[in-house]
Amino acid sequence: MNIVSHNNQKKIALVNDFTGFGRCSIAVQLPLISALKVQCCPLPTAVFSNHTGFESFVSRDLTDDMVPWMQEWKKLDLRFDAILTGFLNSTEQIALVSRFIDMFRDERTVTIIDPVMGDHGKRYRTYTPEMCDRMKSLCEKADLLTPNLTEACLLTDTAYREDMPRDEVEQIARKLIEQGCKKAVITGIVEGNCITNLCLEEGAEPEYVTVTRLGNERSGTGDLFSAILAAETVRGASLLSSVKKASEFIKHCIQRAIDMDIPLTDGVPFEELLTEI
């Protein structure tokens, strides 16, 4: 009798929402991970007609479907080389992701958590203090954590300053390591006309990746960043090289968006550059 295995290819379980228009979340992460020759298996937390940065949208919460989805995957004995999480809409969803990690993580699985909590020094309006506390607990399970500077401050109870010097950002990164994650990348640090990402691995010295800042912020770039890091990690790349690859690719995508006069709400035309990755 032939035994069927569904685990003959590297796979990433992606827990995030799906947005039909606006280039963010699963809609950008799935094709990018696939282009990097890793199978992407989405577990959607919600579906949106277009992202919440538009004046109006329609959506459907999928919390009630998450456990049955997980159970079906367990029946198939699916095993994942990485688990990547994105925006979570409630304390219940955060708890379910924690359960998902416990169900599917084994000795080869890398858990990558993008704690989508806020930006520009403030947590998102929908993100309650209870959700922040639950996210802190979830981040303890991360092998790799990818907060922006605002989220790193929220996770470590640190007062936010946009012009925070590098030594203070390094202290925050070390706190994140002390709180449980093995590696941390603090993204979106503004340094003059540049954007810097700080990389810190447990027991190592911090390293920096800096690129020229182009235009204004666009939806979905954080999702592109975490997707590249996840796929490159699964492929065996170092943290520093993965961050460099993600930073350069996103810079090229932003430049293409500027050249094509793409509205900020519409994200970046990464489709034009997939062959670069």
Q: Residue 120 carries which side chain, given as an amino acid letter? A: H
pLDDT at 125: 83
Look up the pTM and report it.
0.95
* Structural domains of the chain sorted by starting position, each given as residue range(s) with its CATH number in brackets: 11-276 (3.40.1190.20)
Q: Tell me the average pLDDT of the chain.
A: 95
pLDDT at 1: 59
pLDDT bucket at 80, cuts 50 / 70 / 90: very high
Residue ranges of E strands in 49-167 = 59-61, 82-85, 110-113, 118-119, 122-123, 144-145
Helices in 76-205 by DSSP H: which ranges?
A: 91-104, 129-139, 149-156, 166-178
CA distance 271 to 261: 15
Whether pLDDT at 115 is above 70: yes
Instruction: Give the closest residue to 84 by CA, choosing from 150, 38, 122.
Output: 38
Whether pLDDT at 102 is above 90: yes
Residue with tokens 């209870």: 130
Whether pLDDT at 276 is above 90: no
Q: Residue 4 carries which side chain, given as an amino acid letter? A: V
Whether pLDDT at 176 is above 70: yes
